[in-house]
Chains A and B, each alone.
Chain A
Amino acid sequence: MTGCSEIAERLFSLDQAVEEFIFDGCQLAIGGFTVTRNPMALVYTIIRRGIKDLHLVCHSNGQGMDILVGAGCVKRLEIAYGGNGRYAPTCIRFRRAVETGKLEFEDYSNYQMALRFLAGSLSIPFIPSRTGLGSDLMELEGFSPEVRSEEKVASRKYARIDNPFSAEKEEVPLLPALNPDVALIHAQYVGEDGTVRIKGLTFADLEQAKAADKVIVTFEELVPRSFIRQDPDQNSLASFFVDAYVKVPYGSHPTACFNYYDYDPAHLNLYRHMAEDDGRFQEYLGEWVYGVESHEEYLRKVGIDMLLKIKASPGIGYAPGLDRK
Chain B
Amino acid sequence: MLKYSNSEMMAIAAGRLIKDGDIVFAGTGVSMLAATVAKRIYAPRAVIFFETGGIDPALDEIPMAVADLRVMSGTALNSGLIEAFSTVGHRKLRTVAFLGAAQVDQYGNLNTTCIGDYHRPQKRFSGSGGGNDVASLATGVITFMQHEKRRLVEKLDYMTSVGWYRGGNSRQELGLKRGGAVAVVTNLGLLHFHEETKEMYLAEYFPGVTVEQVQENTGFALDVSNAKEAAPPTAEELAILREEVDPQGLICQPPE
Contact = CB atoms under 8 A, between A and B. Distances in A.
B121 interface: yes
A118 interface: yes
Contacts of A108: 128
Interface of B: 28-29, 51-54, 60-61, 63-74, 78-82, 85, 89, 113-114, 118-133, 136-137, 158-162, 165, 171, 174-176, 248, 250
Contacts of A135: 128, 132, 159-162
A102 to B, nearest CB: 11
Contact of A83 (B126, B136, B165): B126
Contacts of B161: 135
9 contacts: A80-B128, A85-B64, A85-B68, A91-B126, A110-B130, A131-B132, A201-B52, A203-B53, A318-B69
Contacts of B159: 134-136, 139
Which residue, of A62, A86, A112, A142, has the highest number of chain B Cβ atoms within 10 A? A86
B137 A79 contact: no
Contact of A200 (B72, B118, B124): B72
Nearest to B69: A318
A109 B130 contact: yes
A206 interface: yes
A190 interface: no
Q: How large is the interface on A (under 10, 10 to 19, 20 to 34, 35 or more residues)?
A: 35 or more
Contact of A87 (B65, B79, B126, B127): B65
Given A202-B80, A324-B64, A114 B85 contact: yes
B146 to A, nearest CB: 13
B54 to A, nearest CB: 6
Contact of B129 (A83, A134, A200, A320): A83
A89 interface: yes
A82 interface: yes
A130 B137 contact: yes
Contacts of B122: 99
A133 interface: yes
Contacts of B137: 111, 130-131
Contacts of A36: 65, 67-69
Contact of B113 (A101, A107, A324): A107
A238 interface: no
Nearest to A131: B136
Contacts of A89: 125-126
A114 B81 contact: yes
A134 B67 contact: no
A99 B64 contact: no
A76 to B, nearest CB: 14
A132 B69 contact: no
Given A99-B121, A107-B113, A133 B80 contact: no
A140 B130 CA distance: 18
B65 A201 contact: no
B133 A109 contact: yes
A55 to B, nearest CB: 17
Contact of B81 (A101, A203, A262): A203
Contacts of A79: 127
A256 B131 CA distance: 23
Given A86-B64, A109-B133, A318-B61, 7 more contacts: A33-B66, A87-B64, A90-B124, A130-B89, A134-B162, A136-B113, A203-B67
A316 interface: yes
Interface string A19-45: 000000000000011111000000000
Contacts of B70: 318
Contact of A312 (B51, B68, B69, B74): B69
A95 B174 CA distance: 31
A205 B78 CA distance: 14
A137 B250 contact: no
B69 A317 contact: yes
A125 B69 CA distance: 34
B139 to A, nearest CB: 14
Interface in A87-139: 87, 89-91, 94-95, 98-99, 101, 107-112, 114-115, 118, 130-137, 139
